[in-house]
C-alpha cells in the first residue's frame, strides 16, 4: 500500500507538471508520399520540437511503483502460504505477480509457492481470462473483426506491463503516448485502390519518424495517388493520458485490497 500511495503522489506531481508544460502539438507537421514500389503511402513526422525528458521520467516512476506493489503482494502471499505449511524457507526467487497478455497462457512458475486458491484468484484477474473478455462478447460487427489480443491489451494490468516493461527494459518514452482524431486523405487513386491507414503508436517523436502507412494495391500499369498535403492529428504526450494512469493505479489498489483479509 505504501508503494501505491507513493505512485499516487507521483501521479499528482505529474499532472501538475503537465498543466504547466507548453503545448507542443501545434508545432508538429506531417509529410506524406506515395511510393509505387512499396505500394503504400507513407506518412512521417516533421518539425518535431525538442521535448522535455522530465515528463517521461515522471510518467514512468509511478508505473514502476505500481508494478512493484503487486509483486510485493505475490511475495507476501507466498510467505504466508509457506508459513501455513510449516516451511521456514523463503519463496522461490522468481516469485512475482504474473501479467499474462497472450491467449491461453499463465506463468505458473511465478506463483508456485502460493496457495492454490490464491493462484486461482490471480489467474481469474488476468487480462486474457474470460472475466475480462466476456464484456466484449456482444460487441458489434466492427469489433468482432478486432483480434482478441487487442482486447487483452486494453486491460489495466496489460497497460501497466506495457508501460513498465518498455521503461525498464527498452527505452525512456519521453514524447508520445498516442494519437487521437487522426485525419488523413481523402485520396484519389489512378490505376490503384487505396486501403485503410494503419498507425504506429507509442513511438518517440522525432523528425522523419514513421507515423502511418496507407496500403495501395496496384490495378494498372501506372499507379498514381492524388492527395491533400494536410494531415491532422491531436498528439498526446507522455504523461498526458492521466485517466489511463489513474485507472491503472485504482486497479492495482483494488487487487491488493482484495487480499487484505488474509493478512
Spatial distance between the Cα atoms of 9 and 78, rounded to a whole number of angstroms: 28
> Cα dist. 229→83, 159, 199, 204, 208 in Å?
67, 34, 18, 23, 16
Chain centroid to CA 243: how far?
A: 13
pLDDT band at 180 (very low <50, low <70, confident <90, very high): low
Spatial distance between the Cα atoms of 72 and 22, rounded to a whole number of angstroms: 37
Q: Where are the alpha helices (DSSP H) in the chain?
A: 2-20, 53-84, 116-124, 130-133, 141-144, 148-153, 156-165, 242-258
Q: Is residue 5's pLDDT more than 70?
A: yes
Spatial distance between the Cα atoms of 156 and 67, rounded to a whole number of angstroms: 11
Spatial distance between the Cα atoms of 41 and 185, rounded to a whole number of angstroms: 10
pLDDT digits (tens, 9 = 90+) for 188-214: 888 898 887 766 554 566 788 887 888
> H helices then E strands: how many in the chain?
8, 9
Is the separation of the CB atoms in 113 and 91 below 8 Å?
Answer: yes
Spatial distance between the Cα atoms of 101 and 129, rounded to a whole number of angstroms: 9
pLDDT digits (tens, 9 = 90+) for 61-74: 999 999 999 999 99
Range with lowest mean pLDDT among 39-43, 212-216, 226-230, 246-250: 226-230
Res 62: pLDDT: 94
Task: Report the length, in residues, of the chain.
Answer: 263
Percent over 90 (pLDDT), the chain: 36
Task: Give the residue among 126, 128, 150 at the shortest CA–CA distance from 139.
Answer: 150
Res 24: pLDDT: 66
Is the separation of the CB atoms in 12 and 61 below 8 Å?
Answer: no
Spatial distance between the Cα atoms of 197 and 193, rounded to a whole number of angstroms: 13
pLDDT band at 117 (very low <50, low <70, confident <90, very high): very high
Res 247: pLDDT: 94
Res 29: pLDDT: 78
Mean predicted lDDT score pLDDT of the chain: 83
Mean pLDDT over 157-173 rounds to 84
Query: What is the residue extent of each domain of the chain?
Result: 2-262
pTM above 0.75, yes or no: no
Amino acid at each position: 500500500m505504501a508503494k501505491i500511495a507513493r505512485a499516487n503522489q507521483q501521479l499528482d506531481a505529474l499532472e501538475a507538471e503537465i498543466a504547466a508544460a507548453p503545448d507542443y502539438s501545434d508545432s508538429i507537421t506531417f509529410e506524406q508520399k506515395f511510393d509505387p514500389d512499396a505500394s503504400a503511402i507513407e506518412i512521417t513526422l516533421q518539425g518535431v520540437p525538442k521535448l522535455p525528458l522530465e515528463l517521461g521520467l515522471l510518467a514512468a516512476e509511478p508505473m514502476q511503483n505500481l508494478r512493484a506493489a503487486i509483486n510485493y503482494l505475490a511475495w507476501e502471499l507466498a510467505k504466508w502460504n509457506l508459513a501455513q505449511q510449516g516451511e521456514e524457507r523463503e519463496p522461490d526467487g522468481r516469485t512475482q505477480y504474473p501479467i499474462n497478455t497472450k491467449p491461453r497462457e499463465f506463468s505458473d512458475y511465478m506463483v508456485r509457492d502460493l496457495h492454490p486458491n490464491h493462484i486461482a484468484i490471480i489467474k481469474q484477474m488476468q487480462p486474457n481470462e474470460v472475466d475480462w473478455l466476456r464484456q466484449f462478447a456482444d460487441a458489434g460487427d466492427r469489433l468482432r473483426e478486432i483480434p482478441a489480443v487487442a482486447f487483452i491489451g486494453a486491460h489495466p494490468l496489460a497497460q501497466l506491463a506495457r508501460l513498465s516493461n518498455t521503461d525498464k527494459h527498452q527505452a525512456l518514452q519521453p514524447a508520445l503516448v498516442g494519437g487521437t482524431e487522426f485525419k488523413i486523405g481523402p485520396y484519389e487513386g489512378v490505376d490503384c485502390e487505396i486501403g485503410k491507414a494503419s498507425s504506429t503508436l507509442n513511438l518517440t517523436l522525432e523528425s522523419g519518424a514513421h507515423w502511418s502507412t496507407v496500403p495501395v494495391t496496384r490495378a494498372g500499369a501506372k499507379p498514381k495517388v492524388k492527395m491533400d498535403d494536410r494531415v491532422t492529428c491531436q498528439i498526446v504526450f507522455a504523461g498526458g493520458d492521466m485517466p489511463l494512469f489513474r485507472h491503472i493505479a485504482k486497479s492495482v489498489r483494488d487487487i491488493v485490497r482484495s487480499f487484505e483479509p488474509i493478512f
